[in-house]
Every structure is written in structure tokens, then in C-alpha cells.
Amino acid sequence: MNRVPNGVAEFLAGSRFAVAGVSRSGQQPANAVFRKLQDCGFDVVPVNPHADQLDGSACYRSIATIPGPIDGLLVATPPAVAADLVREAAACGVRRVWFHRSFGQGSVSDGALQACVQAGIQPVVGGCPLMYCEPVDLGHRCMRWWLGRTGRIPA
């Protein structure tokens, strides 16, 4: 049960990530992911088309405006914008995409998955990096257990 799926391990092998879906209020799942990845020592860049700064970090309005390479994109947005984010990330050379989902549809859309196929990106679909970044809190340990038990652990 403690094995990290290959797709998750490949994603987390990167060192610099963009997190799309962070909010100015700080109350969205993307904000928690952003902070946890930072706490784990990753270089994390927030993406929000309506903000210039979040949690003391420069925030970028699009992936294309982020200076330097990005190893992975975490999508924690409404599904309607996920496909555009994938296409933009692919155009910027991003080869890893993780679609956040706890319960329900999350950030995943058929269009976004098709955009991944077209770009040659093998996405991580569902779950959350907080299920794998140590120390893992009780809620995310339970979520990882439940998703594994129901066969929905991200690969």
C-alpha cells in the first residue's frame, strides 16, 4: 500500500512545478498543494490569471509567462479550463501533468485528457500530491487508502 505509483513518482521527480487554480483567498485545494510542495523543498510557481502575487510568491497569469523551465503542472481548476492549460503547458515544453481530484470530477475533463494524448503526455489523473509528500497528514493518508481500496489510486 505504501508503493508510489510510477506516474506519481515520475511527476514528483521534478523540481519545479506550476500549480494552476490557486486562489487569492487561499482557500482552494490548489493553495494547499502549492504550500505543501513548497514545504517539501520544491520550487513552486502559482498560476492565476487574476493575481500578481500569492502567499508571498510571484504569481503568473499563464504558464507561458513563467520564466524558465517547468517540470510539471498540477491542475486544480474547474474542468472547463483544464484542456487549455494542458495545451499551453505542452507548448511550453511541460511533459508532466497531474489533474487534482479528491471526490467527484475534480479538474479532469475528456478534452484535457485528449489534449494530453495529442501532446504525448501521460497524465496523473486524480488524487493529490499531498497523498505522497511526507509527512502525509491523516486526511490524505485516509484518502490514499480509500482510493487504493476502490482501485482509483492515480497511476
CATH code for the domain of 20: 3.40.50.720
> Rounded to an integer, what distance in angstroms lies between the CA atom of residue 24 and that of residue 131?
24
> Is residue 56 included in any domain, yes or no?
yes
> Rounded to an integer, what distance in angstroms lies between the CA atom of residue 153 and that of residue 109?
17
pTM of structure: 0.91
| pLDDT at position 116 over 80 | yes
64-98 confidence digits (pLDDT tens): 999 999 999 999 999 999 999 999 999 999 999 99
> Is residue 12 included in any domain, yes or no?
yes
* Per-residue pLDDT at 2: 60
* Per-residue pLDDT at 1: 46
> Is residue 142 included in any domain, yes or no?
yes
Mean pLDDT rounded to a whole number for the chain: 90
- The residue-averaged pLDDT of 49-55 equals 87
> Is residue 155 included in any domain, yes or no?
no
Domain that holds residue 32: 6-149
* Per-residue pLDDT at 115: 97
How many domains are there within the chain? 1
* Per-residue pLDDT at 76: 94
- The residue-averaged pLDDT of 132-152 equals 87
